[in-house]
Amino acid sequence: MRHVAYIGNLTRLAVELVNGDGPSDLRREFFVQHRVTEPDADSLAKLLPPLHDAVAAVADGGPITPVNQLLEQFPPVLYVSTHDESGGAHLHFAHDGESPIAWLGRSCAAALAHVICGDPDVTVGRCQADGCARFHVDDSRNRSRRFCSNTCASRTTVAAYRARRKTTPND
């Protein structure tokens, strides 16, 4: 696994968690690969506020304090792993089999630290749709993604079209 893919996937995992998305294929795969159990709702609820603040800081381009606080609360434990099918060595930020909250906290904190420090391959943004508070990982070629989903993009496009039609006199 390329280091960039690992950072990007951990960042996606952090965004999924703060957006309140249910367990995704990515999340299940990470947990299986790293022998981590799914956290219970009460434990996860304790991680979400500092994780949300860190994701928001990354999406907004700072301040760095929430990311540093998450790193302080969940300091990464760096080690080299070769667990994937290619056998290629890559860094991990938490030990396999750790408690789910410790593993998530350490892994997401380290990934978000890389991103806020300017990782050019991973960008986090806020959805620009009115009334949407979700985040997204922008993996578009020119890093111009504005919405968290096609639903928000379509809703915004339709609203803009209807607003233009209201101001245009009938022929």
Going from N- to C-terminal start, the domains of the chain cover 3-167
CA 53 to chain centre: 12
At residue 36's C-alpha, the angle toward residues 28 and 8, to 5°, is 55
> Positive or negative, the Cα torsion across 126, 143, 94, 41?
positive
Closest CA to 54 of 92, 99, 87, 14: 14
Strand locations in 38-157 (E): 79-81, 90-92, 123-126, 135-138
Band of the pLDDT at 118, cuts 50, 70, 90? confident
Band of the pLDDT at 170, cuts 50, 70, 90? low
Band of the pLDDT at 1, cuts 50, 70, 90? very low
- For domain 3-167, the CATH class is mainly alpha
Provide the pLDDT for residue 159: 66
- The residue type found at 122 is V
Instruction: Give 45 or 150, the one with higher predicted confidence.
Output: 45
Provide the pLDDT for residue 141: 78
Q: pLDDT digit string (tens) for 24-54? A: 888 999 899 899 999 999 999 999 999 999 9
Provide the pLDDT for residue 171: 53
d(CA 151, CA 156): 9
